[in-house]
Structures are given as structure tokens and as C-alpha cells.
Structure 1
Amino acid sequence: MNISANKMPTSGYNQKKWKGRYTILLLLWSGWLLSFLDRMVMNVSLPFIGSELGLDKTVQGSIISAFFIGYALFQIPGGYLSDKFGPRKVMAFAIIWWSIFTFFTGLIYWLPLMLLVRFLFGAGEGCFPASSWKVIATYFPPHERGRATAIQSSVNTLGPAISVVVAVTIIEWLGWREVFVILSVPGLILGLLIYRYIRNHPAENRLISADELHLLEADQKNDKKNIEMQTRSFSLLAVLKMPILWKLSLIWFLFDITFWGFTTWLPSYLLEARGLSLSKTGIWAAIPFLFGALGTLVGGYFADKFQQKLKYLYGITALLSGAFLFLMYQVENLNAAIVFQCISALFMFIAFAIFWGMLMHLIPTAIMGKASSVVNFGGQVAGVVSPFIIGFLIDNASGGYHHAFLFMVLSLIGSAVLTFFIQKITL
């Protein structure tokens, strides 16, 4: 990176000053929040869509799976394009694309067309994650990447929490279709903002100060692994041949079986198995994700603080989450169930942030787009199969949720156990 004379720092590095990279992170955070709002309102809308279109739980699950098929298939292409052409255009196009199909979702009256629209919606969102991680790896020094990723990932908790409240409010006021029409508007605006204010390289971005560029340049000189990667030609095929990425992808697949099952079916569980009203469901389904937001920030701190022990921290927190999820559906008392689901969410999202912080420390910036997309692909395959399998388990238990939650618990335990058997986490 060449720094022109007018870009050289003229004073000491001010740790307290608002940095340009924080603005970049805010835009990324907004994109992730919107992506979760757009996809999670479907979970709240499912019972109403099922009632209007005459769909059982298995078919309702297929609507969620259609999104994840598109989302999974475009993970790796999105990562490849981000490494080859830069993340700026990929992110802007992705947000505008999925916002258009969010709008179309509210207009559908025919199941096959609904499945197609949700697939195309997922294809747009699938290009976004790897490009955002590429931006963090490019704009943030290594010692801040775990926390930056955790802050960005906090929308995995805030998104479901906010979406429940937003969806319930609009459904009660206008109807389920209007939720999707209204949420399409901010996406179009955000896509244009990202295109305007994010550049592929920090040196080209007026938001980034001379001090920040100096810090990034110093870190790059000390990052021997990344320098080596930049001097070698790493094709997509070469990245796909890295065994560690597929091991981590399997761990993430099992984790996301539980994550997507929990976020997809929790509103329906509270409505149907616990007998809550729609308004109370909006409150009690949101609260666990607020605990999850705290867990994400804690996990991000751990990811930067304990870099050599992250696989053990991930395994322990994932096991604890599974234990409290088991207790949640076993107890008869509603208040106890709410407490257990909150504790489960807390540990689940600590594990979530630790996992991605671990990847941000392992993967060199030069291949971040392709490598992170391979790992995230595993999670999105889970998103394809999890809602469908859980819907099937609910239907075949006469509407009961015990088998579905046991499936989620076992998947989370499997993810934790596999982590302990990774002998060497290196690329």
C-alpha cells in the first residue's frame, strides 16, 4: 500500500477518536441487520401464510428451505467475486437485489411462485456475507477483527429480536403481506449508501484517515502469512482443497442446524406449544435474542483475548447452550422455559462470535472472501435442511415440538464435540 505525502500521520495515534473504519462497520452492520429483518419476518409470518394458503408445517418449512438453497448456492460465488473484483459492487448489488424480492414476497398468492421468489431472495443475500468479512479483514487491524466481527454479528441476535416486534406490529396493523412491501424500501437506500461510501481499498476511501492507513500498513508488514498469500496465486480450487475449511464447515453446519431451527420455529413454538397470544409471542420470542446480543459481544472479546484457546471456549459454550435448550422444552412452567431459552441463547451466541472470531484470526486477508464463503456454505446447507426436517418432525409428532428440539440439541452437541478433535487449526 502506497501512502502519499498528504496521507502520512502528523500526530500520535488517537485511540479515542472516531475512526473512518467505524463508519464502514456501521454500514456493514446495517446491511446485516436488514438482511436478518428481511429473512426473519418470514418466520413470524409463516403461521399466517400457512393459514391463508392452506399449508402444513412441512410445506411451510419448504418456504424457508427455498431461501436457504439460494443463499447456500451463492455463498462461494459471492466470496470468489469479492476476492476477484472487490467487495464494494458485490455488496451494493446484493442488497438491492434481495430488497426487490422482499417486495415481491408480499405479492405472492401461489406456492410455486413463492418458492421461486424466496430462492432468488436467498441468492442475493448469499453474495453478501463473504464480501462483508472481506471488508473487515481489509479495513481493520488483526487485533480488532474479532470484536469488529462480533459487532457485525450482533445483528444475528438483534435481527430476530427486532424482526419479531416489527412483524407482529405490522401484521396486527395491516397484514403479513405489508411487512415485506414496507421492508423493501430501506434496502434500496442502503445499497446506494454502501456503493457511495465503501471502497475496495482503504487508501481509496476518503473516510479513512492517515493514521488509520499508517496502522494498517504497519500490520501488513508484520503479517508474514498474508504477505506470502498475496505473492502466491490462490485459485478458488486451491482454497477448496484446504481440509481445515471443510472441517470448520461441518462444525458450522451442525451449529446452524440448531441456530436456524431455534430462530425459525421459536415464534411458532410459543404460539402453539406454549399457548401465548400473538402480542406476547412478539415479546417473549424477542427477549432471548437480547441475551444473545450480549453473548455476541462477550464472544468477540474472548476471540481477541484468548486466540490460542478458542476451540475449547467454543466447545464449552456450545455444550452449555445445548444443555439449557434441552431444559427449555422439558419444563412445564412457562417462566422457567423463558429463563432457560434466554440462557441457551446467551451461550449460543457466545459460541457464535467465538467461531467467527477464530476464523478472522486464521484466514489471511488475501483469501478471506473465498475461504469464509466455504465455511459459511456449510451453515447455509443447514439452513436448507433444518427448517424442513424440523417441520417434518413437528407434523409427525401431532404438532408436538419435543422431537424437533431434541434434534437441535444433538446437532449442537455434535458441533461442540467435533471442535475438540481439531488437532491443528492452521491454513
Structure 2
Amino acid sequence: MLRITKVTVLLLSAAWIADYVDRVVVTFALPAIGRDLHLSHTQQGAIVSVFFLAYAATQIPAGLLADRFGALTMAAIGMLAWSVFTGLTALAWSFSALLVLRFLFGLVQGVYPSAAMKALAERSLPEQRTTATGWTNTSNAVGTLLAAVIAAVVQPLWGWRVMFALISLLGLAALVAWRVWMPQPLPQDRIELVADRGVPWPVLRAPALLGFAVLFFGYDTVVWGLGSWVPTYLHDVHGVSTSRAALLAMPATILAAAGIVLGARLSDRLDGRPRLIVVPAMAVTVVLLVALPHIGSIALFAAVAALLAGVASLAYMPAFAVPLRALPPVVLGAATAVIIFGGQLAGVVTPLLFGAVTDRFSYAAAFAALAAGPLLAAAVAWFVPQSADAFRARLSGRFAAPDPKESLA
């Protein structure tokens, strides 16, 4: 991997870590927030879902803006603004106020993902892009782990309001590091351009791209369903404190990071071919999801949840691998935004649905309902293009010569 790419991965990862700490720490604070503001499970789910509603709505406009005004410019605006709204969350005095603040937080944080992927694409070669992006996205798990540590240490001492005020500084620190060390993009002659291969515009409406967005939606139902509700489930059903629940989440976040990297490396070695990774990973995920609420031992629950996180995370980068290899950086901001939109739409639906099913039926029923997501991801992975050439052929409508990798997959 080029040195420019490595430095970019480190700096983007620092910002992603701040992003995820600011975003995920609310799930560890939900029991305390619910108690202080007298919220039901459905209202607690709405606090998480309203963020993703705004976050999802921002994705495609943000990708277009990154392509128009530059990846680093848009990402920096997002980092500054989300840090402000993280700090303002500490001032929430009611359910309605918290909903408004989380919605605004989602709007400004939604600017970052597609800009970050575009920035990395501008500083990496196509054949290394998925692996580089995979390493960057391990920061999601690191950010979740750091959020758990912060929640376990800070919240018992000073409460959730002080915790939100303190973590608002992380994004500002990452932004300063960008200004000092972010390298310039690679010269365009170092990057394979595919505009002369008949790739039409707009790419955004292409079924070939929308299929990967649906795949990512299915995968992310697991991530946002479990990430939003496992701490509260452990508190309500097993009497586990928020601090201990945060610590129990650490093995899952570590294995999730490992799964993202392994899935990325496999995707590059297989030239994409997502069905070979996604289908078996999602099948195992379904079995573990259904079994999880029936485990009585806390230690065994944490072990199974960790295994589930590692296996499910294998499907993360296969949702992006083929488009990342097939498209030039000039359109990757918008193209990756479409896929990210699918995942964030899962963040809108799943936490609220999980809370509603829990209120109406039980936690066991809510866990079982999550299995619909990985089943959808596995089904879609079977039909999306399995290589960069097949993806470009689908976009351009040229099917004269079948892709040999498709027939072997």
C-alpha cells in the first residue's frame, strides 16, 4: 500500500473514531436517559432512529456535494458541525428537545461518510481500494469500543450530560490533525479511469448500484438493531449495569473490526464476488440472532454476541467492493452515498421497530425479527454484479460478452 494511502487511512480513521463515539455512546446512555426523561422503549428507539432518519436523508446530497466542492471540504464542515451538536446534546431537557438535537446531529454527521470514501479513493489505487477502505472502517468498531469505555468510566462518575460535553472535543481534535497532515491526492494518471468504457451518468439510479444499497441495508439491520438495544436488553432482562454492559461489548467490537478487515481482503483477492462472502456469513448470522435471547449465562451471551459481530462484519466491505473497483473517484462520492443510504435507512427502521416489537411482544421476538435483514442481504448478494467488469457492463447495458468471473462464482 502506498505511503500516501496509509497516512490517509490513519487520518480518516481518527475522524471515523470520533464519529462513532459521538454516534454510538447514546446507546449506552439510553437507560439513564430513559430514566431521567421518563421514556418508554419505543421513545428510546425513536431517539436512535431519528438520528438515522436525518443521516440517511443527507447521504446522496452529501455525496453530490463532495463530488462538486471536494471531499475534504465537505468532510471538515461535517466534523465541525457534528462536534457542536454532540456538545448540545448534554443540554437536552425533554424527549422533544432530544429528538430535535439528534435529528440535527444526524444531518451534519451524514456529510462525512461519502466524502471520506471519496477522499480515500483519490489517494489509493483501484486494486488496493477495498482493503484500504476496510482498514479505515475498522475505526467503526474502535469507535464503538471507545464509546463503551467512555460510558463505563465517565457516565457513572459524572452522568450522561457531562459525557456528551466531553466527547464533543474528539471531532475537533481529528479536524486539526487533518489540517496538519492530510496528503494531497494522487495524480490522475496514477488512477485507472473508466469513463471511456461506457459508464453512463447518472449512476445513482442504476439497479446494479441500488442492489448493493439493499445488500448494505440487510447487513446494517443487524448492526443497528443489536448496537442500539443490547445494552438496554442486558439491563432490563439480566440486571446488568450500563458500565458492565459497555465492558461486555468490547469482544464484539474487536471481532467486528477483524471481520471488516478480513472481508475487505477477501473481496480484493476474489475481485469482488460478494456472494461468496455474504451468503455464508449472513446464514450463520441468522442462526446466532435467533439463539441470542435464549442464552441465560451473561458470559456465554457476550461470547455468542462477539462471534455474531465478527461473522456479520465479513459482509460489510463486500457491499462496496465491486463499485469501488469499477468506478472512478470523480463519481465515487455520489455512488458510495447511495450504498451508505441503504445502511442508514436500516438505522432509521430497525431501532424503532425493535423497541416497538419489544413493547408489543418480547425481546425474543425482536431479536428474531432482526433475522429478516441478513436473509435479505444473502438473497441480494446472489444477484448483484460479481466483478468490476460485470458492474460496468450492467451500467452501460452491454451484455454481449459474459464475464467469466460471473460464471465461476
State the TM-score, normalizing by the size of structure 2.
Answer: 0.90
Is 1:416 the equivalent of 2:378? yes
Displacement, 1:381? Answer: 1.3
Of residues 217, 221, 235, the one that matches 1:271 is 235
Shift of the 227–85 alpha-carbon distance from structure 1 to 2, 3 Å rule, reads farther
Mapping of residues 280-291 of structure 1, within 5 Å: 280-291=244-255
Distance 1:385 1:30, change over 3 A: same
Contact 1:89/1:195, CA 8 A, preserved across alignment: no
- The question of whether the paired residues in 1 share the 8 Å contact of 2:9 and 2:120 is answered with yes
Q: Does 1:401 align with 2:401?
A: no
8 Å contact kept, 1:255–1:412: yes
The equivalences for 1:7-406 within 5 A come to 19-198=3-182, 202=185, 217-218=189-190, 220=191, 223=192, 225-228=194-197, 234=201, 238-397=202-361, 400-406=362-368
How far apart, CA to CA, are the structure 2 residues paired with 1:140 and 1:414? 32
Instruction: Point out the more displaced range, 381-390 or 99-108.
Output: 381-390
Residue 224 (structure 1) shift: 5.1
Aligned to 1:8: none
| 3-state SS, counterpart of residue 273 of structure 2 | helix
User: In the TM superposition, what whole-angstrom CA distance separates every residue of 1:66-120 from its partner, at most 9, and x where no partner exists?
Assistant: 1111111110111001111111110111000000000000011022221111111
Is this contact kept in 2: 1:136–1:149, CA < 8 A?
yes
Of the structure 1 ranges 146-155 and 308-317, higher mean CA displacement relative to structure 2 is found in: 308-317
| Deviation sequence 1:289-316 (CA, Å, 0-9, x none) | 1111111111121011111532221221
Percent of pairs with identical residues = 28
For residue 395 of structure 1, report the CA deviation from its aligned partner.
1.2
Task: State the secondary structure of the residue aligned to 2:91.
Answer: coil
Mapped contact 1:92–1:195 kept (Cα < 8 A) = no
> Is the alpha carbon distance of 1:185 and 1:423 closer, same or farther for their aligned partners in structure 2, counting shifts above 3 Å?
closer
Displacement after TM superposition at 1:242 (Å) = 1.1
Cα distance in 1, alignment partners of residues 197 and 178 from structure 2:
30
The CA deviation at 1:278 is 3.1
Alpha-carbon separation, structure 2, partners of 1:279 and 1:112? 26
Secondary structure of 1:239's partner? coil
Maintained 8 Å contact 1:58/1:395: yes
1:139 match: secondary structure: coil
Total equivalences in the alignment: 389
Moved more, 23-32 or 355-364: 355-364
- Which SS does the other structure have where 1:352 is aligned? coil
Structure 2 stretches lacking a partner, 5+ long: 396-409
* 1:195 Cα deviation after fit: 4.0
Could you give the per-residue CA deviations for residues 231-289 of structure 1, whole angstroms, max 9, x where no partner exists? x884xxx2222111212212211221221001111111222223323332121122211
Pair 244,276 (structure 1): closer, same or farther in 2 beyond 3 Å: same
**What is the distance in 1 between the residues matched to 2:272 and 2:75?**
32
Instruction: Check whether the contact 1:326–1:405 (CA below 8 A) recurs between aligned residues.
Output: yes
Letter in 1 for 2:369: F
Deviation, 1:361, is: 1.7
Runs of 4+ in 1 over 6 A off after TM superposition: none
SS of equivalent to 1:312: helix
CA contact (8 A) 1:88 1:195 kept: no
Contact 2:210 2:338 survives alignment (8 Å): yes
In structure 1, stretches of 5+ residues that fail to align are: 1-14, 204-212
Query: Contact between 1:150 and 1:353, CA under 8 Å: does it hold in 2?
Result: yes
Determine if contact 1:91/1:194 at 8 Å carries over to the other structure. Answer: no
How far off is 1:149 after superposition?
0.7
Q: Which residue of 2 aligns with 1:208?
A: none
